[in-house]
């Protein structure tokens, strides 16, 4: 939480509901006059943007935006979701780079590239710290087994090295990336184009549950929002902006990946591409980007990716560590394992399993999480609680 008033927070929600996120006029007005005054202007039709006026008229015919924001906030609370706005400790400052993004192609979509007004978040990790060392892995829904394998493997390697793997939660490459990070016991973030109460697609529900437990679900859209087609393109600018770099694993010819990559490059982030067989339709888009864009970079592994993001100085940054008070938000199993760790000295995983009355496998999995959270550490061949003083800087490889 920050100095933003409840009224300001609710106004940001209402504005996101009235006009799609990224709207240039709305964002500019909010910067000038704040969200509360902007909401009043927008509702009064007092904006220099005919398209926005029509959109607002259509939306207010459906419902009262202030009332809808209130309901969304109440439902979020029940769901365990939180609203994050600029000025909050966990606001991901990197996303504000979108304020300077000017794409040289015309058209409606490119008008909608301003920073978000707010984020809805599910999961215990602080948003900004989690995104600081993050890489996006995205690609085709119709991934081949090759693409799924590479995405999983790369995500596993990044998560193992304490990097957050971010993706869009879709079938194919996205899901493979999330799952790879989850399998490594690492952090993963799904940025959705709909409400965090109804992550899409439903076929990935079990995975989303695991992401909520082990990482974060994030969206600009209020609780209840549907995954409309155009929202994915708007969402993509956030994927490009909040990460240290983006990797495309598989993409068909002339796919959305090219658009995402032009945003990544416009934001001065590494635009990384995994090559594939030139005989595979699912690699045509990847090779198009590599041939068409001299600043795009070919990557073949997690280590290649770290080399690229390392070039912009992120690589050596401190891994994010969950603050002590996050203990309260731990899942039950992790809390039990943490409780079993002795206050002084160390215990072996086997001793912890005995003390917590859990299987060794579960203990090891939970220990990975607790270690990433900075709550426990390996020392003298055993597990120890992390002391209060800040940890030594760790080598990320």
Which residues bind to a copy of itself, rule: CB under 8 A? Answer: 146, 149-150, 274-279, 283-284, 287, 290-291, 297-301, 304
Closer to a copy of itself at the Cβ: 62 or 278? 278
In the complex, what is the shortest distance from the CB of residue 178 to a copy of itself, in angstroms, rounded to a whole number? Answer: 20
Nearer residue to a copy of itself within complex by CB, 105 or 145: 145
Which is nearer to a copy of itself, 283 or 334 (by Cβ)?
283
Task: Compute the least distance from the CB of residue 278 to a copy of itself, in Å.
Answer: 4
Quote the least distance from Cβ 245 to a copy of itself, whole Å: 15
Q: Which residues, at least 6 apart from 101, have a Cβ–Cβ distance to it below 8 Å?
A: 113, 237, 241, 263, 266, 267
Shortest distance, CB of residue 307 to a copy of itself, whole angstroms?
9
DSSP state for residue 171 in the 8-state scheme? T
Nearer to a copy of itself, 140 or 341 (CB): 140
To the nearest whole angstrom, how small is the minimum distance from the Cβ of residue 297 to a copy of itself?
A: 7
Q: How far is the CB of 286 from a copy of itself (least distance, A)?
A: 8
Is residue 116 within 8 A of residue 21, CB to CB? The reply is: yes
**Alpha carbon distance 331, 311 (integer Å):** 36
Copy the structure tokens of residue 264.
Answer: 């990544």
Q: Where are the beta strands (DSSP E) in the chain?
A: 82-84, 119-122, 134-138, 164-167, 188-192, 216-219, 246-248, 271-273, 297-298, 376-379, 382-385
DSSP string, 294-341: TT-EE--SHHHHHHHHHTTT-TTSPPP---GGGGGGS-HHHHHHHHHS
Task: Name which of 247 and 340 has its Cβ closer to a copy of itself.
Answer: 247
Planar angle of CA 317, 245, 320, nearest 5 degrees: 30
Pick the closer one to a copy of itself by CB: 168 or 276.
Answer: 276
CA 396/CA 37 separation, integer angstroms = 45
Q: Report d(CA 206, CA 203) in Å as an integer.
A: 8
* DSSP bridge partners of 383: 347, 378
3-state secondary structure of 377: strand
Q: How far is the CB of 288 from a copy of itself (least distance, A)?
A: 9
CA distance 222 to 16: 8
Q: Which is nearer to a copy of itself, 300 or 393 (CB)?
A: 300
Nearer residue to a copy of itself within complex by CB, 284 or 335: 284
Which residues share a beta bridge with 217? 122, 190
CB of residue 292 vs a copy of itself: minimum separation in angstroms?
Answer: 10
């Amino acid at each position: 939480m920050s100095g933003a008033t409840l009224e300001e927070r609710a106004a940001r929600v209402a504005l996101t509901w009235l006009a799609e996120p990224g709207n240039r006029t709305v964002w500019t007005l909010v910067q000038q006059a704040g969200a509360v005054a902007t909401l009043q202007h927008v509702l009064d039709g007092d904006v220099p943007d005919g398209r926005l006026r029509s959109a607002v008229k259509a939306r207010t015919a459906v419902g009262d935006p202030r009332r809808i924001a209130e309901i969304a906030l109440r439902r979020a609370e029940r769901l365990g979701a939180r609203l994050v706005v600029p000025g909050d400790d966990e606001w991901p400052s990197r996303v504000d780079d979108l304020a300077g993004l000017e794409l040289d192609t015309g058209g409606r979509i490119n008008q909608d590239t301003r920073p978000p007004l707010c984020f809805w978040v599910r999961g215990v990790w602080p948003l900004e710290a989690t995104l600081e060392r993050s890489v996006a892995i995205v690609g085709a829904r119709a991934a081949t087994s090759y693409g799924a394998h590479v995405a999983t493997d790369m995500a596993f390697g990044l998560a193992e090295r304490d990097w957050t793997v971010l993706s869009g939660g879709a079938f194919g490459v996205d899901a493979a990336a999330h799952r790879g990070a989850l399998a490594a016991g690492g952090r993963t973030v799904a940025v959705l184009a709909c409400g965090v109460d109804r992550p899409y697609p439903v076929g990935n529900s079990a995975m989303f549950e695991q992401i909520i437990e082990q990482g974060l679900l994030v969206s600009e859209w209020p609780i209840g929002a549907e995954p409309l087609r155009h929202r994915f393109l708007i969402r993509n600018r956030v994927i490009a902006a909040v990460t240290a770099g983006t990797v495309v694993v598989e993409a068909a010819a002339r796919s959305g990946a090219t658009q995402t990559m032009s945003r990544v490059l416009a934001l001065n982030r590494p635009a990384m591409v995994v090559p594939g067989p030139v005989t595979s339709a699912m690699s045509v888009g990847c090779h198009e980007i590599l041939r068409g864009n001299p600043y795009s970079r070919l990557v073949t592994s997690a280590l290649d990716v770290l080399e690229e993001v390392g070039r912009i100085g992120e690589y050596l940054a401190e891994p994010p560590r969950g603050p002590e008070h996050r203990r309260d938000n731990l899942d039950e199993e992790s809390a039990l394992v943490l409780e079993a760790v002795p206050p002084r000295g160390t215990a072996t995983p086997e001793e912890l399993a005995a003390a917590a009355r859990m299987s060794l496998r579960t203990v090891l999995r939970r220990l990975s999480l607790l270690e990433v959270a900075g709550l426990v550490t390996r020392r003298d061949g055993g597990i120890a609680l992390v002391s209060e003083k800040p940890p030594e800087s760790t080598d990320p490889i």
